[in-house]
Amino acid sequence: MKILFIADIVGQPGRRAVNELVPKLRREHGLHMVVANGENSAGGSGITPATAAEIFNAGVDIITSGDHLWDQKEVMDLLGRELRFVRPLNYPLGTPGQGSAMFQAEGMPPVGVINLQGRTFMPPLENPFHAVLAEVERIRRRTNIIVIDFHAEATSEKIALARMLDGIVSAVLGTHTHVQTADEQIFPGGTAFLCDAGFTGPHDSVIGRQIEPIIKRFMTNMPQKFEVAKGNVMLQGAIVEIDETNGRARKIERISEQVSVVGKQPQ
């Protein structure tokens, strides 16, 4: 089984990359499933039902999120009705939405997808290390193929959680920093790991935003409006190949694909 994980989709340029490249990647790699982090897909901050629909229509099966979950008020509609959308699992009991989801491609076993949010240099949530163990145990009653999007800042936190889960989940893929790391590997127990999958959107930027306002903020400490940049649009992430009989990862490959055809820009 081959699963594509798409790193943080940033604004309209990121959605355009998904629209143009996901069908191509599905054909070229024989993908069975696509998971994407969509927490920055609406104007570069948050997600709405409209941007989620655009991402699903492009061929994404499950959308994950992170600390920008609440930036658009329309997200409440997604949390209330969309079973293909997940928020971080480690919110307190009673928070709208779900922290995991299941997807099953034709002829393949089901796949569990869990979204977690870190706590180091991040808004305070419940402990993801405790929350994930109970959820993994629950999901493994149905399938041994489990993919985790760990939305976290600290590399040590991401590595520690992946090491803890080695051999009981198929992959732990980091998001949030928007900088793709070069540490893709498969741990001894069969868990694929990448500390950060990067981001999908304009790379002539500062992690997706226009350059000059970011520099001005650092130079002056004065508030600036951080608009989404436009140039050098890329889709980043990873493809994980998993043995569907035992859930162990066979291969992990980083993806960094440039959008080559610029058509009419969707609004």
- Beta strands 233-242 and 199-202 are antiparallel
pLDDT tens per residue across span 226-248: 999 999 999 999 999 999 999 99
Which has more confidence, 117 or 43? 117
β-sheet with 111-117: strand ranges across: 100-103, 111-117, 146-151, 171-175, 192-194, 185-186
pLDDT of residue 89: 98
What percent of the chain is predicted at pLDDT more than 70? 97
Taking the C-alpha atoms of residue 126 and residue 12, their distance in angstroms, rounded to an integer, is 32
Tell me what pLDDT residue 260 has: 78
Question: What is the structure's pLDDT at 257?
Answer: 97
Q: Is the pLDDT of residue 83 over 50?
A: yes
pLDDT at 110 over 80: yes
27-65: per-residue pLDDT in tens?
999 999 999 999 999 989 999 999 999 999 999 999 999
Active site (catalytic) residues: 68
pLDDT bucket at 261, cuts 50 / 70 / 90: low
Local confidence band at 263 (pLDDT 50, 70, 90 cut-offs):
very low
Q: What is the pLDDT of residue 217?
A: 95
d(CA 137, CA 178): 30
147 φ, ψ (degrees, to nearest 5): -115, 135
> What pLDDT sits at residue 179?
98
Report pLDDT for 267. 37
Q: CA 69, CA 76: separation in Å to the nearest integer?
A: 10
- Structure tokens given for 6: 């798409």
**pLDDT of residue 11 exceeding 80:** yes
The pLDDT tens digits of the residues spanning 178-214 come to 999 999 999 999 999 999 999 999 999 999 999 999 9
In this model, does residue 264 exceed pLDDT 50? no
Structural domains in the chain plus CATH codes: 2-258 (3.60.21.10)
pLDDT at res. 149: 98
